[in-house]
Amino acid sequence: DRVLVLNGPNLNRLGTREPEIYGTASLEDVRAQLASRAGAVEIDLRQTNDEATLIGWLHEAVDARTPVILNPAAFTHYSYALRDAVALVTERGVPVIEVHLSNPHAREEFRHTSVVSAVATGVIAGFGTQSYQLALDTILRSS
């Protein structure tokens, strides 16, 4: 079994980018935290700054029926193409859990809208890297 952990733009800078908002853990730290509680389940964590690549990974997920933890980063707020890609995964019964490190609702107005949430299986936001762990817990519990 495998879980895809997909991360959008600028998250390759996690740990040094606005640490007062996003914390000091890196994406590699997130991968290690998830792997330590995943048991035999493989954690396949990826990051891209490119919308097309992220969409391709979602197509891969639906074809392989692999559950997804997705931090769409800024794409959250405006990418209808990403939203449609998430919808084609969840409509096949494959979970996509939207996660955010910060609580976007407590931040700038433009972050209050997620075009992804309505087609995601669920949303976890505001718990730092623990948001990813909570998402993994729900996937492991239902698999």
Instruction: Based on the shown chain and the rule CB under 6 A, indicate whether residue 71 belongs to the binding site for ligand DQA.
Output: yes
List the one residue from 49, 102, 117, 130 that touches ligand DQA (CB under 6 A): 102
105 is in an annotated binding site: no
Q: Do residues 1 and 139 lie in contact, with contact meaning Cβ atoms separated by under 8 Å?
A: no
- Residue 142 CB partners (closer than 8 Å, separation 6+): 95
Cα 25-73-19 angle, rounded to 5 deg? 30
**In one letter, which amino acid is 84?**
D
Q: Report the nearest approach of ligand DQA to the CB of residue 121 (Å).
A: 17
Q: Which stretch binds ligand DQA (CB under 6 A): 25-33, 50-58, 68-76, 87-95?
A: 68-76
- Is 22 among the residues known to form the active site? yes
Which residue reads 């409509």 in tokens? 91
**Which residue lies nearer to ligand DQA by CB, 13 or 87?**
13
List the one residue from 48, 76, 121, 133 that touches ligand DQA (CB under 6 A): 76
111 is in an annotated binding site: yes
Enumerate binding residues for ligand DQA (CB under 6 A). Answer: 10, 71, 73-74, 76, 100-102, 104, 111
Q: Which residues are catalytic?
A: 22, 100
